[in-house]
Amino acid sequence: MTTAATTLPGKFHDAVIRWQETYLSDFDFLVDNWEKYFPNDQRFRLCAYREQGICGEIECGELEGQPKFTQACDMDPKRAHQLLGAIRAQASTEFGSIQQHRLTLARAQHEQDQMWVLRMMAEELRHGYQMLHLLLDDDWSHVSEISSADMVEEILSMTTGSHVLGAFNIDFDSFVDNVVFCALIDRVGKFQLAMQQVSAYKPMAESMPPMLREEAFHLATGVVPMRRWVTQAAQGEVYVTMEGLQRAWNKWLPRGLEMFGDERGGGTNVRLGLKPMKNKEAQEGYYKECGKVLRDLNMRYLRARLPKLSRNEAIRALDRILEGEVVQGVGREALLHLPDQRFYRRRGLPAFEMIGTQGEVFEDVAAYTQHLSETLPESYRASADFRGYVDLLRQVNGGEVTAHEASSRAPALRRVGGSCPCSKSVRWVVDSPAESSSLETPLATP
Amino acid sequence: MPDLDEDILIRPLSEVDIGDIVEIDEKQGGIYRPEVWEQRVGYYLRRDPEISVVASLEDRVIGFMLGEVRSGEFGLEESTGWIEVLGVDPEFRGQSIGRRLGEQILERIKNRGATTVRTLVDAGQEDLSGFFLALGFEPAPLKPYVRTL
């Protein structure tokens, strides 16, 4: 197995560097201190990697067994268009997550946590760079009136609020968001990258293995600090409470579920050989894995809270508590729980249904918004994102719009300045078509 | 009753496995050491997550083998695979889980371009020595020395 490295043409590479200087200003600190925090690890390099020697035949769909496409122009327009949408959305999310993480990076309490997140941000920059490489290294003119150069400019111009997928339009409120985002939203990324390893477009498939290797560490960047926090919470520390963590899970898990696209869709991607699973199947795998992470966190909490229990006693105690018993003063409310898949959804099958974290059904908008206010982070409730959701929920329940229409309305048009040095433009970025609640929503990954 | 040959999946290590690895370690050694494994798993994931492997049965890890490829250790300039940690759930011992993990990690190390794989075994652990001999390892002339300070 070998990996080929390449860089973008000069002006685009420079544009990414300028973007990095704007949104990842701690990059030089990371590079300068790499050996201190990541001794003997391969040094970070801003480039695109392509894994050599991957399967050369299409692995699923109507063309299974035929050679993978090496050029976009060899693909039929529908396949190429679908793929182009996915690449653009993915590029947007990679850059978007850095813009979110930077807001609260400095608030980390532990040096290791901070450096892990900083490294993760640099690697997300590389992932975005990888997607720009796919846009620029091929000719997409038969499926797009926008030139590759303009697509790159558009992506580098996006800011939080104008990204293609909803999870990347939500500001972080504390370092808890950095960590929970890594554990939940980057996990979506892992699933998407793993699926795209079989892409019928060979350059896409070749891009995935190096990204997946980096993504594995990003998930640890989320899970390892959370495991430490629940231990501290059990010992009575006040830095991060179980309730605070629960609220962060409630904030991010619905967005993660939506990133898989509508539960009824994904068949086109399978048929076209771009992914091996439909949306629902992939989403179910993701939800199940989140459940395992959560159970481990609860076990970590319980063993810190009741340290005299043996391993087997702790396993039995956890099961009893989850069934509603109180064991040595620990009840279900002290533990984390996985929010219902339909909770706080604005896209997909349960969009704008009023379902609570435990699956309870609400009939009244006021009661549901009260439930949301009790289960989401207080700082987040002051955000435009939350207000936008509540406004749309009221409209849906007032019969002014359908849930489908509401899904395609968020987020609104936003005027953004071009931060890309190859442009001085200021433009309106139209988000809604790219993230409409179409059953074949382009899927992406942080 | 699962068919172990059929149902066991050998796959790369992930952060989701930390809890199960902590449990196997506790079953083996009798000590609960979650912090140790959080750091170790984090280390191997950032080094190269595709080399270390776990054996998974019905979504539960029942064995793990952690390693990496390094060069420059002890004057060994060539790229060398190191197998550093091995654990199998005592409930599943004697069912070739370790052998399957070993074969996978050797393949993965080979794919990274290393032509030599090394490990260190305590002289008192004859079962572990036998395990590595069965995997094709042989005693190396490199002799470990230690001094207590």
Among A116, A98, A96, A119, smallest CA distance to A108 is for A116
Q: Is residue A199, in this structure, part of any structural domain at all? A: yes
Q: Chain B 103-122, CB below 8 Å of chain A: which residues?
A: 111-113
At A439, list the tokens: 């059953």
Q: Is residue B140, in this structure, part of any structural domain at all? A: no
Among all residues of chain A, which has the CA nearest to that of B112? A1
Q: Is residue A76, in this structure, part of any structural domain at all? A: yes
Q: Is residue A378, in this structure, part of any structural domain at all? A: no
- pLDDT bracket for residue A410 (50, 70, 90): low
Q: Is residue B148, in this structure, part of any structural domain at all? A: no
Query: What is the distance between the alpha carbons of residues A371 and A391, in angstroms, rounded to a whole number?
Result: 16
Query: What is the distance between the alpha carbons of residues A258 and A337, in angstroms, rounded to a whole number?
Result: 19
Q: Is residue B57, in this structure, part of any structural domain at all? A: yes
Q: Is residue A403, in this structure, part of any structural domain at all? A: no
At A371, list the tokens: 């439930």
Domain count, chain B: 1
| Mean pLDDT value of segment A244-261 | 96
Q: Which residues in chain B touch residue A217, judged by CB atoms under 8 angstroms apart?
A: 42, 45-46, 49
Q: Is residue A358, in this structure, part of any structural domain at all? A: no
Domain count, chain A: 1
Please tell me whether the interface predicted TM-score (ipTM) of this complex is above 0.85: yes
Q: For chains A and B, count residue pairs whose Cβ atoms are closer than 8 Å.
A: 67
Q: Is residue A361, in this structure, part of any structural domain at all? A: no
Whole-number pLDDT of residue A437 = 37
Among all residues of chain B, which has the CA nearest to that of A295? B19
Which has more pLDDT, A138 or B5?
A: A138
CA distance B135 to chain A (A): 23
CATH of the domain at B42: 3.40.630.30
Bridge partner list, B87: B64
Q: Is residue A340, in this structure, part of any structural domain at all? A: yes
Q: Is residue A395, in this structure, part of any structural domain at all? A: no
Whole-number pLDDT of residue A445 = 52
Q: Is residue B110, in this structure, part of any structural domain at all? A: yes
- pLDDT bracket for residue A365 (50, 70, 90): very high
For the CA atoms of A359, A360, A362, A365, the dihedral, rounded to the nearest 10 degrees, stands at -60
Whether A105 and A122 have beta carbons less than 8 Å apart is answered as no
Q: Which helix (H) or strand (E) holds A103?
A: none
Tokens 């949104």 sit at which residue?
Answer: A23
- Cβ contact, residue pair B111, A1, below 8 Å: yes
| Mean pLDDT value of segment A345-367 | 97
Whole-number pLDDT of residue A171 = 84
Q: Is residue B89, in this structure, part of any structural domain at all? A: yes
Give pTM, 2 decimals: 0.91
> What's the domain range around A234?
3-350+414-429
- Cβ contact, residue pair A300, B14, below 8 Å: no
Q: Which helix (H) or strand (E) holds B124?
A: none
Q: Which residues contact A369 (CB under 8 A, 6 or more apart)?
A: A390, A393
Range with lowest mean pLDDT among A157-171, A227-241, B14-28, B104-118 = A157-171
pLDDT at B142 over 90: no
Whole-number pLDDT of residue A427 = 32
> What's the domain range around B53?
4-134
Give Dmax (Cα) for chain A.
67
Whole-number pLDDT of residue A167 = 67
pLDDT at A159 over 90: no
Q: What is the pLDDT of residues B68-108, one digit of tens each?
A: 999 877 777 889 999 999 999 999 999 999 999 999 999 99
Range with lowest mean pLDDT among A1-10, A339-348, B17-26 = A1-10
Q: Is residue B139, in this structure, part of any structural domain at all? A: no
Among A7, A25, A135, smallest CA distance to A72 is for A135
Q: Is residue B141, in this structure, part of any structural domain at all? A: no
Task: Measure CB to CB from residue A303 to each of B18, B32, B49 and give the nearest one.
Answer: B32
Among A388, A396, A391, A408, smallest CA distance to A353 is for A396
pLDDT at B65 over 80: yes
Query: What is the distance between the alpha carbons of residues A154 and A427, in angstroms, rounded to a whole number?
Result: 9
CATH of the domain at A240: 1.10.620.20
